[in-house]
Structure 1
Amino acid sequence: MNKNEMVSPENALPGGRTPVLAMPFFHRVTGDRLDRSFPHSETIYLAMGCFWGAEKLFWNTEGVLQTAVGYMGGFTPNPTYREVCTGRTGHAETVRVTYDPKHVPTTEILTLFLENHDPTQGMRQGNDVGTQYRSAIWCTTSEQFMTATTLKGSYQANLLTAGYGEMTTTISMSHGIEFYLAEAEHQQYLEDNPFGYCPVHATGVCLALTH
């Protein structure tokens, strides 16, 4: 199978009956349970290549209340990391970002997302090749969706000016799309493995030319 092509639902792996991460599990940086709810918060799901470094980017952002890594956008229920790596689940490596919009606006969250990977590479980020590394945004509110769509248009213009091609980032609502938490060893991976694999694929192009 070509890992650069999305698997069809009928050819996707069957998956498991139970989640691969048992609760309770506590965030290695904040100490909070990953299933904790935060009043007056918003959540957005971001796929931008390898989720280890992406998660660290957001847990270090002021106003972000919690992060977690998992799999999203595919067809296989309760997938394992090994299954996702085959390209036969359809899932992308994804970071769940829960934030306080009064302290960090959605615009800032999405600016970090856009500026810290190359959203023009399709089914890859650098040497990481496959559908699991695609660029995607899953929104939980209509306001997030509108903001993401507007920023994508602005960033596309800046990328073209800098000599890059068309963005391949997809923007969708998360309703009806399951986010499956990844295994314990992948949660806050770089906190336990500070010298672990963490490639940076940023283009160096800013969202605004005056940014």
Structure 2
Amino acid sequence: MILDPSRALPGRNTPLSFSGVHAVNGCSMLPPFPAEHAVIVLGLGCFWGAERLFWQLPGVYVTAVGYAGGITPNPTYEETCTGLTGHTEVVQVVYDPATLPLVELLRVFWEAHDPTQGMRQGNDIGSQYRSAIYTTDDAQLAEAERSREAYQRSLTRAGKGDITTEIAPLTAFYYAEEYHQQYLHKQPGGYCGLKGTGVSCPIG
């Protein structure tokens, strides 16, 4: 448990207000999504650069940034940054497995950040920047765990540390505020902290 529930901020019953329309491709960020598409939620540090990485992948239908893995319902960005919601910054990725197999999506995930850093990503420090994979079915969970084992072997051979990525079934995804959605499309010169280990992931 990242946070003692008794210390968690109360949050709110009402979701944060936002348009629900993806600023890059015009698709709805809200369900229902097209048939035969799958959903996975990924955390790899600050969600601005992470979302741009995923919306550019062929086979991704739509992305949205938000908060997951914690306790506080419908948290704000400011609340999440206190560490008292238990959430990490994440990207919800809706993708077509026929075009973009999960194993390939996971390879991109592992190679785009350093999953050995615990409660940080580079200079971004705090539980809201921890690495995480939140799955929406049993097959995704098993595939994610296999990919972690495969990447750990490569990292160990390269002299890197142990993966700290949290892998668990998704319990809730809370959409972030409108200004965070597709932030680097709206602010092309904005901050992007993505930086991998330089070690290739032997999957996909």
* TM-score bracket for the superposition, by shorter chain length: over 0.9
Q: 2:200 aligns with which of 175, 184, 206?
A: 206
CA distance, structure 2, for counterparts of residue 208 and residue 33 of structure 1 = 33
Q: Does 1:33 pair with 2:23? A: no
Query: Counterpart of 1:9?
Result: 5
CA distance, structure 2, for counterparts of residue 110 and residue 12 of structure 1 = 31
Shift of 1:149: 0.9
Q: 1:82 aligns with which of 78, 97, 100?
A: 78
Amino acid at match of 1:67: T
Amino acid at match of 2:191: Y
Q: Does 1:108 pair with 2:109? A: no
* CA distances 1:10-58 after superposition (whole Å, capped 9, x unpaired): 1000112311134x42100110121141111000000110000000000
CA distance, structure 1, for counterparts of residue 138 and residue 20 of structure 2 = 30
* CA distances 1:129-174 after superposition (whole Å, capped 9, x unpaired): 0000001101112111111111110100110111111100111112
Q: 2:121 aligns with which of 120, 125, 135?
A: 125
Query: Counterpart of 1:164?
Result: 160
Report runs of 4+ in structure 1 exceeding 3 Å deviation. Answer: none
Q: Does 1:197 pair with 2:191? A: yes
Q: RMSD of the alignment, in Å? A: 1.4
Shift of 1:200: 2.3
Query: Percent of counterpart pairs with the same letter?
Result: 50
Amino acid at match of 1:45: V
CA distance, structure 2, for counterparts of residue 129 and residue 31 of structure 1 = 33
Which stretches in structure 1 are left out of the alignment for 5+ residues? Answer: none
Q: 2:173 aligns with which of 175, 179, 183?
A: 179
Residues matched between the structures, number: 203
3-state SS in 2 of match to 1:56 = helix
Amino acid at match of 1:195: G
Which stretches in structure 2 are left out of the alignment for 5+ residues? Answer: none
Shift of 1:188: 0.4
Q: Does 1:43 pair with 2:39? A: yes
CA distance, structure 1, for counterparts of residue 23 and residue 181 of structure 2 = 8
Give TM-score scaled by structure 1 length.
Answer: 0.93
Give TM-score scaled by structure 2 length.
Answer: 0.96
CA distance, structure 2, for counterparts of residue 25 and residue 106 of structure 1 = 25
